[in-house]
Structures are given as structure tokens and as C-alpha cells.
Amino acid sequence: MTELVPLLLSAFVLGLLGGGHCLGMCGGLMGALTMAIPAEQRGKRLRLLVAYNLGRVLSYAAAGLLVGLAGWAVAKSPAAMALRVVAALLLIAMGLYLAGWWSGLTRIETMGRGLWRHIQPVASRLMPVRNMPQALFLGTLWGWLPCGLVYSTLLWSASQGDALDSALLMLAFGIGTWPVLLATGLAAERMTALLRKRGVRMAGGIMVILFGLWTLPGPHQQWLMGH
């Protein structure tokens, strides 16, 4: 379990650094969800926003478990190395996107649009939100919104070759995205304005690129792990 701690921290930081992308992908949706809270429920806004995000993060963990099972199935085969390379390349591509240097990763997000077309009508029927279970369920549906950052992280988590580890990594990643999206829902202009600054986005992008390079298989992995 101790070997997983650095990876969990990495997943959390990846979610945190992806805040700029989260604003672009989910900021408008978060605002819409907030507006969907009836006036008489505004006093419970924070609790409902937490429920939204808890549902979203639980969806990430469930997706992590599913792809982790696939990663476990190929863990002892040559496909495991290929999976790790693809995951690393996607992380590098995401870093380039976050920094504003390349937008090709947005094409990957089209992969999930077919599924989202079936989920979106169900989510729409849950608004306006009036209670915590409703907000939680809406959040679990929101978690399946097509997102290149989520897809990249899913592949990276699957490359660990363990379903439970993959689910925990996606859980940590999801928790890392909380500050930005909660701030958006609470109209925390200072934080959202900070994350929209080009310098901050570039710094986050560079960190994700470095993380992708670290993920690539090679001698550096053995050196970093101490064996």
C-alpha cells in the first residue's frame, strides 16, 4: 500500500493541475447545476454542490475499477507496456493542451459523446435539484461527461495493472478537481480568474507533461522506485 501513496499524490496533483481544463469543460455545467437549485434550497447550496461533486468522483472511481480490470487482464502480456506508453503520450498531449500549445486532444473527447447523448436526457430530468440524493445521482451522471483529461488519467490508472489501485487513483484524481469546481459553483471569482491566467495554465501544462514523461517506461522508473 505504501508504494501506492506517491501515485495517489500524483493523481491528486494531476486533478488539481487540470483545473484550467475543468473550467473549460465543466465550469459552464457547474454554473447551470448551481442555477438549477431552487431559490428555497439556496441555503443548502454548499451541501448540494458537495453532493454533485461526490457523485462525479464516485463515477470516476467506478470507471477506474472497470478499466483497472482490463489493465489487470493484460498485466502479464506485452499489451501492458503498450498501454503504459499510450497513457503517457496522452498525458503529454493533455499537458500541451493545458498549456495552450496543441488542441489535438479534444478529438479524443468525441469518443464519449455517443454515451453522453444517452445520459444527458436523464440528467436533464433531474433538474431542478431539490435534495441531496437527487444531487448525488445527478453528479454520478455528470461524471460520464466526455473529457480528455479523465480519459488520459483512466488509461494511466489502468496501466497499473490492478483494479482496486486504478479505482483509488481515479478517486484521488477526482478529489483533486474539487477545489476548482466547488469554487466555480460558489462563484469564487478570484480562484477561477487565477486558473484562467495563461501563466498558470502553462505551468500546470508543463507539470502534466513532466508527469507524462515520468510515466513512460524506462530506466528512470527503476531509479525512482529505488530498485
CB 87 within 8 A of CB 155: yes
- Supply the pLDDT for residue 7: 85
In the structure, what pLDDT confidence band is assigned to residue 54 with cuts at 50, 70 and 90?
very high
- Supply the pLDDT for residue 227: 46
- Supply the pLDDT for residue 34: 64
- 129-149 pLDDT, tens per residue? 778 898 899 889 988 888 878
- In whole angstroms, give the CA distance from residue 160 to residue 7: 10
The total number of structural domains that make up the chain: 1
H or E element at residue 137: helix 132-142
Which residues have C-beta within 8 Å of that of residue 139, sequence separation ≥ 6? 51, 52, 53, 54, 55, 56, 57, 58, 59
- DSSP tag of 145: S
User: Alpha carbon of 101 to those of 85, 179, 206: distances in Å?
Assistant: 21, 25, 10
The count of C-alpha atoms lying within 13 angstroms of the C-alpha of 141, restricted to the half-sphere facing its C-beta, is 20
Q: What are phi and psi of 81, to 5 degrees?
A: -65, -40
User: Alpha carbon of 12 to those of 47, 123, 202: distances in Å?
Assistant: 22, 27, 18
- 20-48 pLDDT, tens per residue? 665 555 555 666 666 666 666 656 777 88
In the structure, what pLDDT confidence band is assigned to residue 173 with cuts at 50, 70 and 90?
very high
What mean pLDDT comes out for the span 184-200? 62
- Supply the pLDDT for residue 120: 84
- In whole angstroms, give the CA distance from residue 103 to residue 96: 8
Range of the domain at 158: 4-218+220-224
Smallest CA-to-CA distance from 26 within 169, 125, 144 is with: 144
- Supply the pLDDT for residue 42: 59
- 209-220 pLDDT, tens per residue? 888 888 887 655
Would the pLDDT of 161 be above 50?
Answer: yes
- Supply the pLDDT for residue 21: 62
